[in-house]
Amino acid sequence: MAEQSAQLKTAIFAGGCFWCMVQPFDSLPGIEKVVSGYTGGHVPHPTYEEVCSGTTGHTEAVEITYDPTIMPYSKLLGYYWQVTDPTDAMGQFQDRGDQYRPVIYYQDEKQKQLAEKSKAALAASERFDQPIVTKIEPAQPFYPAEEYHQDFYKKDQLHYAIEEAGGREQFIKEHWQK
């Protein structure tokens, strides 16, 4: 009889446009699914247009379902830091506005502690010459985005490539591929 796999867990990360946050996690080992959506706001079940208006308080985020025996949360955090600019509280790369702010939403005390520890380690590394401003906040209801936003990097590869060229690729090269 096959041994039963560990219970899956979720992580919620915001770091700019959710289109650009799916692909870096989607192909990692132990990732079951990555869903684009909205969290952190005060309007239940917001639409893309409402979130884009900046009036709902939501961030565009991804909800990652993962197997912690294959991809521990601490490793997910390491990937998160590599695909966001943790020094920019006003958006990410070409995406400007509160709905694009970088936030790690923790599910429990263990995730909170690991997120705070990884943020402190990143700050101590002196990789960046500005303070690390990414927020670490308790998870709030997560609302999946409309279907046309899901797996956008697969559905509209040209548009996705244009979005990625807006700064994220260069940022990764400058800070993480040394």
- The residues assigned a catalytic role are 17
* Helix residue spans in the chain (DSSP H): 18-26, 48-52, 73-83, 109-124, 152-155, 157-164, 168-175
Closest C-alpha among 101, 35, 104, 100 to residue 76? 104
Pairing of strands 31-39, 59-66: antiparallel
Q: Tell me whether strands 142-144 and 31-39 are parallel, antiparallel or unpaired.
A: antiparallel
Residue 54 phi/psi, 5° resolution?
80, 10
Identify the bridge partners of residue 106 per DSSP, sorted by sequence position.
138
Q: Which residues contact 51 (CB under 8 A, 6 or more apart)?
A: 38, 41, 58, 60, 99
Residue 176 neighbours by CB distance under 10 Å: 11
